[in-house]
Amino acid sequence: MNFYFSFQKTFNNIRTALCILTFLIAIGIPDAQAVDYPLGSEGIKAASFPGPGFYYVLYNQLYSSDTMRDKNGDEQKIGFDVNSYAMAHRFVYVTNKKFFGADYGMNIIIPVVNVDLKIDAAGVDAESTGVGDITVEPLVLAWHRPRQDVTISLSMLVPTGEYDESDAASIGGDHYNITATAGTTLFFDSERLWSLSVLARYEKHFENRVLDLTYGDDVLVEWGFGRSVGLFDVGISGYAHWQITDDKGSDRTSDDLDRIYAAGPEIDMAIPQIKGQLRLKYYKEFGGKDTKEGDAFWLTLVKAF
């Protein structure tokens, strides 16, 4: 199922004190990875959306990184360490209405996030917990064919999370964004046992409401390849993120474009007794440029009503 939510996984600005900000620019710490979508939330069948009904999705993500990469992909020795835990509640309603032959749905995602950030070179040691930025997705169209699923959607990130430019571990991003999504899942047999799924997103960020800063646009791709075996789906999944336009504004701290890749194993288990599914996956990030590089664990529960 194509379920995702948005939250800031790291920091947005390091201190307000001019001396600290100047120091960060001097040693080359890039802007926080401004992608609002938490990469890797979907997995093996990323582009498959459910049929008519009401669904609740509980996401749990544990992310850890002690590596910051510069624009060339080299590690920066700055004593960087970030650990975050996110629990997000997603409420999905798919109507019985059809548009262009597709099921029409909508959803809202409410995340709760804890971020613990340290940067020894800048004297940063910060932690924050709170409700993050909420995602509202009023338009989802999903087609279901015997050997193919197709999904397109349009969503908005609303800056409801607490934001303090003096707090390096702020939960909120303090900006709106619009995200357009499209993807497909292909099944290689009539029983829909083998699948290959690709889901792409384009994020358009709007100006930060406090800082003179607008993050560049992002292209995000999730993919998965798997096999259904009884109650289980097993396979590998991964993601990629490319920043494709420059950050703008006098408060930007980098002119470089972010990039990151990740891949890892996934196992999903259907739970017929509760009309649900449990998903477990691990991602190892690699190939980072101008961003952090770490590990992510996901545990997701999907419940149909």
Q: Is the pLDDT of residue 179 over 60?
A: yes
Q: Where are the domains of the chain?
A: 18-304
| pTM recorded for the entire structure | 0.86
- Retrieve residue 174's tokens: 């303090």
Given a contact cutoff of 8 angstroms between Cβ atoms, the answer to whether 17 and 238 are in contact is no
- Backbone φ and ψ for 278, nearest 5 degrees, come out as -115, 135
State the Cα–Cα distance between residues 126 and 116, nearest whole angstrom. 6
Residue 15's pLDDT band, with cuts at 50, 70 and 90, is very low
pLDDT for the residue numbered 19: 33
pLDDT tens for each residue of 52-83: 999 999 999 999 999 999 989 999 999 999 99
Lowest mean pLDDT among 35-39, 89-93, 123-127, 143-147: 35-39
The answer to whether 83 and 125 have CB atoms below 8 angstroms apart is no
Which long-range contacts does 151-155 make (Cβ < 8 Å, 24+ apart)?
A: 151/2, 151/47, 151/48, 151/49, 151/181, 151/182, 151/183, 151/184, 151/199, 152/180, 152/181, 152/182, 152/183, 153/2, 153/180, 153/181, 153/182, 154/178, 154/179, 154/180, 154/181, 155/179, 155/181
Instruction: Output the pLDDT for position 281.
Output: 97
The CATH number assigned to the domain with range 18-304 reads 2.40.128.130
Greatest extent of the chain over all pairs of C-alpha atoms, in Å: 63
> Of 25, 20, 76, 23, which Cα lies nearest the Cα of 253?
25
pLDDT over threshold 80, residue 29: no
pLDDT digit string (tens) for 180-192?
999 999 999 999 9
Residue count of the chain: 305
Question: How far is the CA of 59 from the CAs of 21, 42, 111, 279, 305, in angstroms?
Answer: 34, 10, 9, 9, 17
Provide mean pLDDT across the span 276-299.
96
Residue 125, number of CB atoms within 10 A of its CB: 13
Query: Regarding predicted confidence, which is higher, 252 or 158?
Result: 158
Average per-residue pLDDT in the chain?
86
Confidence band, pLDDT 50/70/90 cuts, at residue 34: low
Look at phi and psi of residue 101 and say left if phi exceeds 0, alpha if psi is from -120 to 50, else beta: left
Backbone angles phi, psi at 25, to 5 degrees: -65, -40
Closest CA to 286 of 236, 241, 248: 241
State the DSSP H helix or E strand holding residue 102, giving kind and residue range, or none if neither.
Answer: strand 102-119
> What tokens appear for 18 in the block?
């001019």
